Chain A
Amino acid sequence: MAGDNSTPDVVVKTINESGEEVVVKIDGANSYGEQLQTSTKQVKEEKPFPPFDPSTFGPQLFWLAITFGVLYLLMSKIALPRIGEILEVRRDRIEGDLAEAERLRQKTEQAIENYEAELATARAQAHEIAEETRNDIKSELDEKHSEVEAELSKKLSIAEARIKETKSAALANVDEIASETLVSLISKLTGKISIKDARDIVKSVVKG
């Protein structure tokens, strides 16, 4: 068989005992136009580099198509929809739970709001009652206060009148005592003075 490779001049393909194809390439002559020599100068058994061996391409391609096709079908029809569904269900569940939590939270907030409103009302009522009571007490106190004050002022005026009376009585007595003192003084010094004259003198002095 003629070589399909450009370098060796003769390529012999044989099948050995184990059924493998053995390619023997004989580099008899170089490509400069020398005669083909029958003596094999360089004989070597050459097997192509496995990944570059075209004889393996067909079966590998065939099996790749089958296996990858099967993988694609299994993934797209069974596995991935299932995982997607699991994730979807979980997300829905989490979202549902979150919504429920939100609803409960709002409910709680509503309750708190109601409670606070009631509290405010009660507080306002209490405040009102306290105010009312305070006003009552204050008016009562005021009343009593004014009553007591009136009584006191009445007593005060009575007392004042009595003081005035006593004072004028006392003043009158003072004139009398002065006159008598004057009489006794004059009579001791000069001799005689009538009580009537003494009184007139005292009166003029007090008046003057």
Chain B
Amino acid sequence: MAGTDPIKQFDIVELFSFGTIGADAQGVGGFDLVFTNSALMMVVTVSLISGWLILTTRGRGLVPSRLQLVSEVSYEFIANMIRTSTGSEGMKFFPFVFSLFVFILISNMLGLFPYFISVSSQLIITVSLALLVMTIVIFYGVWKNGFKFLKIFVPSGIPLVVLIIVVPIEVLSFLSRPLSLSLRLFGNMLAGAIVVKVFAGFVVSLTAMGLVGIIGAILPMAMTVALTGLEVLVAALQAFVFTILTCVYLNDAIHPGH
């Protein structure tokens, strides 16, 4: 059963350790610098992205090659997204939003390969990315607008009596943003991986039963293929959603008081 356990794929396995820093004399506490499979996936993700973007644009071709075109299209895609949702002022966040998008997209996609772990199905990763976004939003908003940043909680053109109800709701919705931002990505990738694994597990269990089982395994196999296709869509969509929500939140920081 261990081979078909749909939860096992999320195990964080220690590959090697750089030792512990900050431990006291008894070796208690401190911080283990372990290099896990999720760390490996992050390194692979970053190397893939950087390698692709830097190597394909090395020629600086006036007429782009096909590979260079991919880099240019992704650049234009994110640049247009920022421009339409935050205006030209948001372009100073372009490297951040671009890194965020490609990081999430590529780690989502890599998670679809067998034996690979999707970094974005680890709660801590999505939570820290979401908190990073919200931290940037809050700090930039306060730094740029000062006290006026609080206007994001006060929708304009609403009578005072209604404001008493609306403002707490706005505050609540603002506080739930990092929660929903991180859990959406985490939940989608986790659920998708589990579903695919469950159907793939059916295939493994059924083929162990002999000829009848192998014939019966055709159906879950087809389902696994179809679901993998769906997961490709979900992976891209969730990366897009995370990025566009980041843009929307950044827009709030740049132009408070909607």
Pairing of A with B: yes
Scan B18-40; emit 1 where CB is below 8 A from any A CB, else 0: 00000000000001111110110
Listed stretches B48-56, B158-166, B201-209; interface member? B48-56
**Set of chain A residues within 8 Å of B116, measured between Cβ atoms:** none
Interface centre among A49, A62, A72, A80 (most CB of B within 10 A): A80
Across the interface, A49 reaches (CB within 8 A) one of B7, B53, B99, B102, namely: B7
B94 at the interface (CB under 8 A from A): yes
**B66 contacts partner chain A, Cβ-Cβ < 8 Å:** no
Which single member of B36, B46, B68 contacts A56 (CB below 8 Å)? B36
Say yes or no: B60 contacts A64, CB within 8 Å: no
Query: Could you tell me the distance between the alpha carbons of A75 and B99 in the complex, rounded to whole angstroms?
Result: 7
Q: Is B190 an interface residue (CB 8 A)?
A: yes
CA distance A67 to B31 in the complex (A): 18
CB neighbours of B45 from chain A (8 A): 67
Residues of chain B with a CB closer than 8 A to A52's CB: 123
Give min CB distance, B11 to chain A, whole Å. 5
**CB-based contact B12/A71 at 8 Å:** no
Closest to B78 in A: A80
Q: Does A76 contact B (CB under 8 A)?
A: yes
- Interface residues contributed by chain A, number (CB under 8 Å): 34
Chain B residues at the A interface, C-beta cutoff of 8 Å: 7, 10-12, 31-36, 38-39, 42-43, 45-46, 49-50, 53-54, 57, 60-62, 64, 68, 71-72, 75-76, 94-96, 98-99, 102-103, 119, 121-125, 128-129, 186, 190
Judged by a CB distance under 8 angstroms, whether A79 is at the interface is: yes
Which residue from B38, B71, B99 sits with its C-beta under 8 Å from A71?
B99
- A200 interface residue, CB < 8 Å from B? no
Chain A residues within 8 Å of B, Cβ to Cβ: 49-53, 56-64, 67-68, 70-72, 74-76, 78-80, 82-87, 89-90, 93
Chain A residues whose C-beta falls within 8 Å of the C-beta of B42 in the assembled complex: 63-64, 67-68
Residue pair B49, A60 in contact (C-beta under 8 Å) = no
- List, in ascending order, chain B residues with CB within 8 A of A93's CB: 62
A56, A58, A62, A89, most chain B CB atoms within 10 A: A56
**With known contacts A57-B124, A83-B53, A72–B95 Cβ distance under 8 A:** yes
